Structure 1
Amino acid sequence: MTTLKDLYVEELQDLWSANDQMSDVVSAMADKASDSKLVDRLSSAKDGIDQHTRLLKSLLEDRGADVKKEHCKGMEGLVKEARKHALDTDMSGAALDVAIIAQYQRLCHYGIAGFGTTKAFAEALGNDEAARKLDGALDNIYESDDFMTELAERSRNLDAMA
């Protein structure tokens, strides 16, 4: 890598891998969650993640880059932690839901960082259309993260204390 274009392409490829990994673990967390609002949001989030992956692939195509993913070791670590703390556990009910929310938000924050960086690269490269599309994906991720914070603060954290 020697140019910003190279960094941009690598970031798109890395995010593709991150999204694929996140999609799988979010689906597994949705299967284990007990709160119907949480299950619905996780299912919706999985659909959004898959939609963002299609966006990443199209941005690679638009750039004339190799449409391939670059294994994301950062997300690999976060997924491993999510499995350990939210899936491979003896918790259940509200306590498990709280753990799922916490792990999901960690995954989201990684996505926010990646999509935000990629958007900045697109802007610097003068690719306003790609920046606009990445900004839309960022809005979706922020919205999902905010929903999880609200769900935790208004119900699941309180329920888990019981």
Structure 2
Amino acid sequence: MSDAPEDLKDLYAEEMKDLWSANDQMTKVVKKMAGKATDAGLKQMFDKAVDGIGKHTEVLKTLIEAAGEKVKKEHCKGMEGLVAEATKHCLGEDAPEAGPVLDAQMIAQYQRMTHYGIAGFGTAAAYAKALGEKDAASKLSAATKEIYGGDEFATKLADTAVNAKAK
């Protein structure tokens, strides 16, 4: 018997379980990047992001349960790849020395992971809306906006401080 989704409700549940896994994976690498950040604004952004990711994960768990699904995550291979890249380029042997260049690299990797979250939470919100789950759609849309706000802040930080220092 296949575990393939049969309807939009299945897609919705799978999306949220995938996002939970993505969030857990992203949290681990962002915490490590925060420890390497030399720009105070970047470190603060990473710390705030970890808190936000945790909050969004709690929303996912609540919505998975409300959808009548078993509250468990499903391993996200998409985020696994993004985390592997972030680890390689920011924490591994291919990482620049601590300082502005590493800070710029960490912003780039953070934004790649963030864009995955924007796409995933936006998709889950659209599914919830189509399923008539107004409260869930509202919560998921709010999370999408918060993630997008974090991405915009990272761009601003790069444009106004970090990239100039990395030149």
Overall identity of the aligned pairs, in % = 56
Residue aligning to 1:37: 41
Partner Cα distance (1:80, 1:69) in 2: 19
Partner Cα distance (2:117, 2:96) in 1: 28
Partner Cα distance (1:92, 1:36) in 2: 13
1:116 partnered with 2:114: no
The secondary structure found in structure 2 opposite 1:21 is: helix
Aligned residues: 161
Residue aligning to 2:143: 137
Partner Cα distance (2:85, 2:109) in 1: 8
1:69 partnered with 2:73: yes
1:157 partnered with 2:163: yes
RMSD between superposed Cα atoms in Å = 0.6
Q: Tell me by how many angstroms 1:87 deviates.
A: 1.2
Q: TM-score, normalised by structure 1?
A: 0.98
Partner Cα distance (1:151, 1:16) in 2: 27
| Contact 2:90/2:96, CA 8 A, preserved across alignment | no
Query: What is the CA deviation profile of residues 22-52 of structure 1, one whole-angstrom value per residue up to 9, with x for unaligned ones?
Result: 0101101000000111000100000000110
Q: Tell me by how many angstroms 1:91 deviates.
A: 2.2
Query: What is the CA deviation profile of residues 76-117 of structure 1, one whole-angstrom value per residue up to 9, with x for unaligned ones?
Result: 000000001111124221000000000000000000000010
Partner Cα distance (1:61, 1:141) in 2: 23
Residue aligning to 1:81: 85
Residue aligning to 1:8: 12
2:10 alignment partner AA: D
Partner Cα distance (2:88, 2:97) in 1: 11
Q: TM-score, normalised by structure 2?
A: 0.95
Residue aligning to 1:47: 51
Q: In structure 1, list runs of 5 or more residues that go unmatched.
A: none
Partner Cα distance (2:91, 2:8) in 1: 38
Partner Cα distance (2:61, 2:126) in 1: 18
Query: What is the CA deviation profile of residues 57-87 of structure 1, one whole-angstrom value per residue up to 9, with x for unaligned ones?
Result: 0001111101000000000000000001111
2:40 alignment partner AA: S
Q: In structure 2, list runs of 5 or more residues that go unmatched.
A: none
